[in-house]
């Protein structure tokens, strides 16, 4: 699952550090190249907000496992792959199966953001309220010592509010291109490749949208 879906399904109103924990494993991976969070090594902390952050982190781990084992994900990913494969072949973009996985997760965010504009605003507002000392305490307890870089990237994430741009095809395709580049699957896409991918995004959104009730039922 992507960022907003984690928040949508598992946030607790007003519990800002629990809700940050819902995103922390992905934030560490994306903000700190080469770092991976190992939350199972957490042995406890006297500050209740640090404990709350850990509980949110463990909820992220459990939710990801449940999502990737769901019938929704197992069915929708190959369907997206079949839909996008001709475009990826035409424009010389490798690993359509990889893109299908990414599109499934990012498109869920896009649909939920369209449906819940007030909630995405609260998502960012809560992230901006989190406390630096709580973040430091949790990451350091798990031997993540680059906490200043993490906090700087978190601040930038909040300033850009880029998830809100997922509703626009150019921004959505740009995000996919950047993931491909950072994962070293391909160079950043050319303008023609980017436009080619954009041409199938509305159809993939429709495919996922009609299957959203299945996802909601499985994620209860």
Compute the average pLDDT of residues 69-91.
97
pLDDT tens figures, 154-190: 999 999 999 999 999 999 999 999 999 999 999 999 9
Are 17 and 50 spatial neighbours (Cβ–Cβ below 8 Å)?
Answer: yes
What is the span of the domain harbouring residue 68? Answer: 3-218
Are 158 and 129 spatial neighbours (Cβ–Cβ below 8 Å)?
Answer: no
Q: Which residues contact 1 (CB under 8 A, 6 or more apart)?
A: 9, 63, 64, 67, 105, 108
Count of domains forming the chain: 1
Query: Residue 176, class by beta-carbon neighbours within 10 Å (0-12 exposed, 13-18 middle, 19+ buried)?
Result: buried
pTM: 0.96
Are 138 and 54 spatial neighbours (Cβ–Cβ below 8 Å)?
Answer: yes
Q: Which residues contact 113 (CB under 8 A, 6 or more apart)?
A: 4, 120, 163, 164, 166, 167
């Amino acid at each position: 699952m992507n960022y907003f879906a984690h928040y949508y399904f598992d946030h607790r109103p007003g519990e800002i550090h629990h809700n940050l924990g819902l995103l922390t494993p992905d934030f560490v991976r994306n903000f700190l190249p080469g770092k991976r969070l190992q939350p199972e090594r957490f042995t406890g902390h006297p500050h209740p907000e640090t404990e709350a952050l850990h509980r949110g982190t463990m909820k992220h781990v459990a939710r990801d496992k449940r999502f990737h084992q769901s019938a929704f994900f197992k069915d929708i990913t190959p369907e997206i792959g079949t839909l996008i494969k001709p475009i990826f072949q035409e424009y010389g973009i490798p690993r359509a199966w990889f893109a299908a996985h990414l599109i499934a997760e990012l498109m869920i965010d896009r649909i939920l953001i369209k449906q819940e504009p007030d909630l995405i605003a609260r998502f960012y507002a809560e992230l901006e309220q989190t406390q630096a000392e709580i973040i430091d305490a949790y990451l350091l307890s798990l031997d993540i010592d680059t906490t200043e870089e993490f906090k700087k990237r978190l601040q930038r994430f909040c300033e850009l509010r880029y998830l809100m741009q997922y509703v626009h095809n150019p921004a959505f395709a740009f995000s996919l291109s950047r993931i491909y580049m950072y994962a070293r699957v391909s160079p950043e896409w050319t303008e023609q490749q980017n436009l080619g991918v954009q041409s199938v995004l509305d159809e993939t959104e429709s495919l996922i949208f009609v299957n959203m009730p299945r996802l909601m039922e499985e994620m209860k």
